[in-house]
Amino acid sequence: MTGAQNQQVTAQAPAAARPLRLACIDSDAPPLFLPDDPVKGRRGYEPAVGELLAAELGRPLEWVYLPWAEMLSAVRGGTADAVLCGQGITEARREQVDFTRPYAVFHESVLVRRGDPVKSAGDLAGRRVAAIAGSTNMALAETFDGAETVPFGGDSDDVFGDMLAALRSGEVDAVVDDDVVFVPLGEHPDFELAFTVETGNRWGIGVAKDRPEDLAAIDTALGRIVADGRLAAAWAEWMPSLPYPFAAEGER
C-alpha cells in the first residue's frame, strides 16, 4: 500500500462488513482533523463524523490519505467510497460527484500577519491573497477588487500549512479559508483574523455518481446522527466556539 493510500481502521464492525473508505488529507488542521497518530488514531470533527457514520452503517472505517487534488478522482475511480474532507457543495464539484446533505456549514475568513491593518476586502487592493486553487475560498478571493489572487495547488500533502508558511514569510499578504480552520490561531503571535464573510458554505460527503446506493446509505446514516443529536455532540466537543448550524432545522 502506498503512503498516499495509508489506511487506518478506526471503528469496529462485523468482520463480513465492507469497510467504509473515506478519503481525506493527512495534515494538521484542527479542529477539523489532526495528523494521524499511531496511538490515538485520527482525531477531530471530521474523523468523529466518519466514526459515527461507520458505526451507524455497521461497517469498519478506513481513511484513504490523498493530496487534496486527488480525492474526488479517487472516489470516481473506486479507490475510496466517499470524500469526507472539507468539501463545500459547489456546482463545479457536483459535476464530478454527488453529495449528501450537509454535515457542517461554515463562513469564510481572511487571515493576515499580526499588526496588519487590513479590516475589509477593500483593504486588500494591491495585496497578494492566497487560497486553494478551485476552492470556494478562491472564488471568494476573486471577488476582492484589486487583490492579486495566489492559488495554492491541492497536490500538496499540507496545503494549509503551505499557505501559512507563505503568509509568515511575506510571500503572500493574506490567506482565505473557512472560519473553522482559523479557530486555533486566535492568539497566534504571527497571525490575526482580519475579517469574516458570512458565506454559509455547506459541506457534504462526496460519492461517485455511479454508486447511488452508497450515497443513499451514507446520507440516511447522516440524517440519523443529525436527528438524534450525535452530530451536535461531536460539534460541541471539537468546535464549541462556533454555533451549531442545524439546531433549528434538524435534517435538511
Within 10 angstroms of residue 1's Cβ, the number of other Cβ atoms is 7
Is the entire prediction scored with pTM above 0.85? no
Please give the helix or strand (H or E) that residue 64 lies within, else none.
strand 61-65
Read off the pLDDT band of 250 (50, 70, 90): very low
Asked if 241 contacts 183 with a C-beta cutoff of 8 angstroms, the reply is: yes
Cβ contacts of 54-58, under 8 Å, gap ≥ 24: 54/10, 54/11, 54/13, 54/20, 55/11, 55/13, 56/221, 56/224, 56/225, 57/13, 57/17, 57/20, 57/217, 57/218, 57/221, 58/13, 58/14, 58/17
| Domains of the chain and CATH, by start | 3-103+204-238 (3.40.190.10), 106-200 (3.40.190.10)
Q: Strands of 61-65's sheet, edge to edge?
A: 61-65, 20-24, 82-83, 206-208, 97-99
59 Cα distance to chain centroid = 22
pLDDT score for 249: 46
Residue 156 has pLDDT above 50, yes or no: yes
- What mean pLDDT is predicted for residues 33-37? 90
pLDDT score for 17: 81
Q: What is the pLDDT of residues 5-24, one digit of tens each?
A: 444 444 444 445 899 999 99
Give the SS3 label for residue 6.
coil
